[in-house]
Amino acid sequence: MLVRSLVLALLAGAVPPLLDGPADVARIREATKELRAKPELKNDEALVSEWLDTLWKAADESKDDKQLWSALVLAQEVAEQCTTTKAKEWRAKVRTRALDRFADDAERMLALLRVSGGEETRAAVLAVTKNPSVKAAAHWSDANALMAKQKKEKLSEAEQKKLDGILKLLQGELGSALDARGRKWGDVVAGKLRAMNDLVIGKVAPEIEGTDLDGQPFKLSDYRGKIVVLDFWGNW
Protein backbone atom coordinates (compact mmCIF):
# COMPACT_ATOMS: atom_id res chain seq x y z
CA MET A 1 0.00 0.00 0.00
CA LEU A 2 2.80 2.33 0.92
CA VAL A 3 4.59 1.68 -2.34
CA ARG A 4 1.39 2.05 -4.27
CA SER A 5 0.56 5.43 -2.75
CA LEU A 6 4.05 6.67 -3.42
CA VAL A 7 3.93 5.48 -7.01
CA LEU A 8 0.51 7.04 -7.50
CA ALA A 9 1.69 10.29 -5.99
CA LEU A 10 4.80 10.34 -8.15
CA LEU A 11 2.78 9.56 -11.24
CA ALA A 12 0.46 12.42 -10.42
CA GLY A 13 3.48 14.66 -9.92
CA ALA A 14 2.27 15.43 -6.42
CA VAL A 15 4.20 15.57 -3.19
CA PRO A 16 3.80 12.21 -1.44
CA PRO A 17 1.45 12.49 1.52
CA LEU A 18 2.96 12.52 4.97
CA LEU A 19 2.68 9.03 6.29
CA ASP A 20 1.17 9.68 9.66
CA GLY A 21 -2.43 9.16 10.74
CA PRO A 22 -3.92 12.65 10.92
CA ALA A 23 -2.28 13.75 7.67
CA ASP A 24 -3.70 10.72 5.86
CA VAL A 25 -7.11 11.44 7.28
CA ALA A 26 -6.86 15.05 6.16
CA ARG A 27 -5.72 13.99 2.69
CA ILE A 28 -8.61 11.58 2.27
CA ARG A 29 -11.08 14.13 3.63
CA GLU A 30 -9.92 16.54 0.94
CA ALA A 31 -10.16 13.82 -1.72
CA THR A 32 -13.72 12.85 -0.73
CA LYS A 33 -14.87 16.41 -1.35
CA GLU A 34 -14.63 15.52 -5.03
CA LEU A 35 -17.23 12.76 -4.70
CA ARG A 36 -20.07 15.16 -5.33
CA ALA A 37 -18.57 16.52 -8.52
CA LYS A 38 -17.21 13.19 -9.74
CA PRO A 39 -19.68 10.49 -8.73
CA GLU A 40 -17.79 7.90 -10.79
CA LEU A 41 -15.13 7.87 -8.03
CA LYS A 42 -17.68 6.19 -5.76
CA ASN A 43 -17.31 3.05 -7.80
CA ASP A 44 -13.51 3.12 -8.12
CA GLU A 45 -12.55 -0.14 -6.40
CA ALA A 46 -8.83 0.67 -6.03
CA LEU A 47 -9.32 4.21 -4.82
CA VAL A 48 -12.05 3.41 -2.30
CA SER A 49 -10.06 0.44 -0.95
CA GLU A 50 -7.02 2.63 -0.48
CA TRP A 51 -9.10 5.17 1.43
CA LEU A 52 -10.70 2.59 3.69
CA ASP A 53 -7.49 0.66 4.39
CA THR A 54 -5.63 3.86 5.20
CA LEU A 55 -8.38 5.15 7.46
CA TRP A 56 -8.58 1.83 9.29
CA LYS A 57 -4.85 1.96 9.84
CA ALA A 58 -5.10 5.57 10.99
CA ALA A 59 -7.72 4.43 13.50
CA ASP A 60 -5.34 1.67 14.73
CA GLU A 61 -2.56 4.16 15.20
CA SER A 62 -4.61 6.99 16.65
CA LYS A 63 -3.16 8.56 19.76
CA ASP A 64 -6.39 9.80 21.29
CA ASP A 65 -10.17 9.71 20.91
CA LYS A 66 -10.17 12.72 18.65
CA GLN A 67 -7.89 11.07 16.11
CA LEU A 68 -9.71 7.76 16.38
CA TRP A 69 -13.05 9.41 15.83
CA SER A 70 -11.97 11.50 12.86
CA ALA A 71 -10.61 8.40 11.10
CA LEU A 72 -13.70 6.33 11.87
CA VAL A 73 -16.33 8.88 10.99
CA LEU A 74 -14.64 9.58 7.67
CA ALA A 75 -14.36 5.84 6.99
CA GLN A 76 -18.06 5.53 7.72
CA GLU A 77 -18.80 8.37 5.34
CA VAL A 78 -16.74 6.72 2.60
CA ALA A 79 -18.32 3.33 3.26
CA GLU A 80 -21.81 4.85 3.08
CA GLN A 81 -21.30 6.97 0.00
CA CYS A 82 -19.26 4.62 -2.13
CA THR A 83 -20.74 1.73 -4.02
CA THR A 84 -17.78 -0.65 -4.34
CA THR A 85 -17.97 -4.14 -2.87
CA LYS A 86 -15.46 -3.21 -0.21
CA ALA A 87 -17.40 -0.12 0.80
CA LYS A 88 -20.52 -2.21 1.35
CA GLU A 89 -18.62 -4.81 3.37
CA TRP A 90 -17.08 -2.16 5.55
CA ARG A 91 -20.17 -0.31 6.61
CA ALA A 92 -20.95 -2.60 9.52
CA LYS A 93 -17.30 -3.09 10.43
CA VAL A 94 -16.56 0.62 10.79
CA ARG A 95 -19.85 1.28 12.54
CA THR A 96 -19.24 -1.46 15.10
CA ARG A 97 -15.85 -0.03 15.94
CA ALA A 98 -17.30 3.48 16.31
CA LEU A 99 -20.07 2.17 18.54
CA ASP A 100 -17.69 0.13 20.70
CA ARG A 101 -15.89 3.25 21.75
CA PHE A 102 -18.42 6.09 21.43
CA ALA A 103 -21.91 4.68 22.00
CA ASP A 104 -22.75 7.11 24.79
CA ASP A 105 -21.06 10.16 23.33
CA ALA A 106 -24.11 12.13 22.21
CA GLU A 107 -22.39 14.56 19.91
CA ARG A 108 -20.43 11.88 18.09
CA MET A 109 -23.39 9.53 17.80
CA LEU A 110 -25.44 12.33 16.29
CA ALA A 111 -22.63 12.90 13.81
CA LEU A 112 -22.61 9.18 13.01
CA LEU A 113 -26.35 9.23 12.40
CA ARG A 114 -25.86 12.18 10.09
CA VAL A 115 -23.29 10.46 7.89
CA SER A 116 -24.93 7.08 8.10
CA GLY A 117 -28.62 7.52 8.75
CA GLY A 118 -29.91 4.20 7.43
CA GLU A 119 -32.18 1.88 9.34
CA GLU A 120 -29.31 -0.49 10.13
CA THR A 121 -27.24 2.23 11.77
CA ARG A 122 -30.19 3.45 13.78
CA ALA A 123 -30.92 -0.04 15.02
CA ALA A 124 -27.25 -0.61 15.87
CA VAL A 125 -27.02 2.68 17.75
CA LEU A 126 -30.24 1.99 19.66
CA ALA A 127 -29.02 -1.47 20.61
CA VAL A 128 -25.96 -0.18 22.45
CA THR A 129 -26.43 3.41 23.58
CA LYS A 130 -27.65 4.35 27.04
CA ASN A 131 -27.58 8.07 26.33
CA PRO A 132 -31.18 9.39 26.09
CA SER A 133 -30.21 12.17 23.64
CA VAL A 134 -28.66 9.63 21.30
CA LYS A 135 -31.65 7.31 21.64
CA ALA A 136 -34.01 10.17 20.87
CA ALA A 137 -32.03 11.18 17.76
CA ALA A 138 -32.00 7.61 16.44
CA HIS A 139 -35.70 7.17 17.12
CA TRP A 140 -36.45 10.49 15.45
CA SER A 141 -34.59 9.38 12.31
CA ASP A 142 -36.73 6.24 12.33
CA ALA A 143 -39.88 8.31 12.74
CA ASN A 144 -38.86 10.59 9.87
CA ALA A 145 -38.28 7.64 7.57
CA LEU A 146 -41.74 6.29 8.43
CA MET A 147 -43.40 9.69 8.03
CA ALA A 148 -41.75 10.16 4.63
CA LYS A 149 -43.12 6.77 3.60
CA GLN A 150 -46.54 7.66 4.99
CA LYS A 151 -46.76 10.58 2.56
CA LYS A 152 -46.51 8.16 -0.36
CA GLU A 153 -48.42 5.13 0.84
CA LYS A 154 -50.42 3.78 3.72
CA LEU A 155 -48.20 2.31 6.42
CA SER A 156 -48.65 -1.30 7.39
CA GLU A 157 -50.21 -1.94 10.77
CA ALA A 158 -46.80 -2.78 12.25
CA GLU A 159 -45.21 0.35 10.82
CA GLN A 160 -48.03 2.57 12.07
CA LYS A 161 -47.70 1.02 15.50
CA LYS A 162 -43.96 1.60 15.46
CA LEU A 163 -44.40 5.25 14.43
CA ASP A 164 -47.02 5.90 17.11
CA GLY A 165 -44.78 4.25 19.69
CA ILE A 166 -41.78 6.37 18.74
CA LEU A 167 -43.72 9.62 18.79
CA LYS A 168 -45.11 8.73 22.19
CA LEU A 169 -41.67 7.84 23.49
CA LEU A 170 -40.12 11.07 22.19
CA GLN A 171 -42.79 13.16 23.85
CA GLY A 172 -42.85 11.07 27.01
CA GLU A 173 -39.93 9.13 28.43
CA LEU A 174 -37.33 10.78 26.18
CA GLY A 175 -39.08 14.15 26.04
CA SER A 176 -36.70 15.93 28.36
CA ALA A 177 -33.51 14.65 26.68
CA LEU A 178 -31.74 17.49 24.90
CA ASP A 179 -31.00 17.57 21.19
CA ALA A 180 -27.71 18.79 19.68
CA ARG A 181 -28.94 22.39 19.85
CA GLY A 182 -29.91 22.23 23.51
CA ARG A 183 -33.66 21.88 23.00
CA LYS A 184 -35.87 19.32 24.68
CA TRP A 185 -36.69 16.53 22.25
CA GLY A 186 -40.33 16.66 23.37
CA ASP A 187 -40.55 20.29 22.22
CA VAL A 188 -38.79 19.59 18.93
CA VAL A 189 -41.10 16.72 18.09
CA ALA A 190 -44.23 18.60 19.14
CA GLY A 191 -43.17 21.50 16.88
CA LYS A 192 -42.50 19.26 13.90
CA LEU A 193 -45.85 17.51 14.31
CA ARG A 194 -47.59 20.84 14.65
CA ALA A 195 -45.88 22.14 11.50
CA MET A 196 -47.06 19.07 9.61
CA ASN A 197 -50.60 18.92 10.91
CA ASP A 198 -51.61 22.41 11.96
CA LEU A 199 -49.41 24.98 10.28
CA VAL A 200 -51.16 24.56 6.99
CA ILE A 201 -53.18 26.83 4.77
CA GLY A 202 -56.68 27.28 6.14
CA LYS A 203 -55.90 26.78 9.82
CA VAL A 204 -55.63 29.49 12.44
CA ALA A 205 -52.02 30.25 13.33
CA PRO A 206 -51.15 29.51 16.95
CA GLU A 207 -50.56 32.36 19.36
CA ILE A 208 -47.06 33.73 19.82
CA GLU A 209 -46.32 35.51 23.06
CA GLY A 210 -42.90 37.02 23.42
CA THR A 211 -40.87 40.16 23.58
CA ASP A 212 -39.70 42.41 20.80
CA LEU A 213 -36.09 43.38 20.15
CA ASP A 214 -36.37 46.16 22.75
CA GLY A 215 -37.66 43.74 25.36
CA GLN A 216 -41.30 44.89 25.17
CA PRO A 217 -43.83 42.07 25.51
CA PHE A 218 -46.41 41.58 22.74
CA LYS A 219 -48.59 38.92 21.16
CA LEU A 220 -49.37 37.84 17.62
CA SER A 221 -53.10 38.15 18.40
CA ASP A 222 -52.58 41.89 19.02
CA TYR A 223 -52.67 42.09 15.22
CA ARG A 224 -56.08 40.48 14.64
CA GLY A 225 -57.99 42.62 12.19
CA LYS A 226 -54.89 43.17 10.09
CA ILE A 227 -53.27 41.21 7.33
CA VAL A 228 -50.00 39.89 8.77
CA VAL A 229 -46.82 38.70 7.10
CA LEU A 230 -45.02 36.57 9.64
CA ASP A 231 -41.38 36.36 8.73
CA PHE A 232 -38.91 34.03 10.48
CA TRP A 233 -35.70 35.87 9.70
CA GLY A 234 -32.14 36.39 10.82
CA ASN A 235 -29.48 38.88 9.90
CA TRP A 236 -26.93 36.48 8.38
Query: In whole angstroms, what is the distance from residue 51 CA to residue 24 CA?
Result: 9
Side-chain-side CA neighbours of residue 206 (13 Å): 10
Instruction: Tell the smallest beta-carbon distance from residue 13 to other proteins (Å).
Output: 44
Helix or strand (DSSP H, E) at 181: none
| Range 191-230, binding other proteins (CB under 8 A) | 191-196, 199-206, 208, 210-213, 218, 220-221, 223-230
Query: In whole angstroms, what is the distance from residue 173 CA to residue 169 CA?
Result: 5
Nearer Cβ to other proteins (4/183): 183
Instruction: Tell the smallest beta-carbon distance from residue 215 to other proteins (Å).
Output: 8
Nearer Cβ to other proteins (90/185): 185
| Range 153-182, binding other proteins (CB under 8 A) | 179, 181-182
Backbone angles phi, psi at 136, to 5 degrees: -60, -45
Nearer Cβ to other proteins (90/140): 140
Binding region for other proteins (CB under 8 A)? 179, 181-183, 187-188, 190-196, 199-206, 208, 210-213, 218, 220-221, 223-236
